Amino acid sequence: MFINSFNPNVFLDKKYVLLDNDFLTSLFHSNDLADSFVNLIPKGKKVYLYQLTEFEFLRDVFVPKEREIREKFISTDFFGKMKKDKHAEMFNQLYENSILLSKIYAHNNEKSKSSFVDLMLASLLMYSGSQLALITGNKRDFPSCVFDTLSVLNYEDTGGNIRTMSVVCFNKNKFDARYSKLQQLG
């Protein structure tokens, strides 16, 4: 199912692996992709879903049967969940980080129109430092002025199209350099 030489070792030094909605939706729609992905994750690693990613995955589903299928999918043991009280505890810091990241993106002429959810995911990566990697279908939302691309996962979707997913992580040195330049603006 996977094309190219995706390196699953990128997950070994990360405590957590997060998915964005693009990749989660791809897993949902393709059993082959889901099976291949499960085999890529090193033993003992859990894949986590952020509450806002779950919201994106479920928000536009109004047919009760479809919603039930999606809810069942994200409630499998494969996906770990952040505790609600932990999220509530971190929310203000994540929100502040997301505003700061949006300023850095704008200052660096990044053309991304990152959604609130993607900025919050970026903020969570920042908050967690080197413990977290994210698999995203939209690399533009995690620009290289702050994030590193650890690996690229290519696969053929059910329509025969080649899709690319990026594994990204926060780079504190890049952030510090960009933040310093932002502060010099006054």
- Determine whether domain 2-184 maps to CATH 3.40.50.1010: yes
**Mean pLDDT for the stretch of residues 122-150:** 93
CB atoms within 10 A of CB 100: 17
Res. 95: pLDDT tops 60: yes
- Report the distance separating Cα 148 and Cα 146, nearest Å: 7
- Report the distance separating Cα 139 and Cα 163, nearest Å: 12
Average pLDDT, whole number, for the chain?
Answer: 88
Tens digit of each residue's pLDDT (9 = 90 or more) over 21-45: 999 999 999 888 888 888 888 777 7
Maximum distance among all Cα pairs of the chain, rounded to whole angstroms? 54
Which is more confident, 131 or 13? 131
Domain residue ranges of the chain, discontinuous segments joined by + = 2-184
Which is more confident, 70 or 108? 70
Tens digit of each residue's pLDDT (9 = 90 or more) over 98-115: 999 999 998 887 666 789
- Report the distance separating Cα 107 and Cα 179, nearest Å: 10
Joined together, the tokens standing for residue 41 give 């994750």
pTM score of the predicted model: 0.90
- Report the distance separating Cα 62 and Cα 54, nearest Å: 15
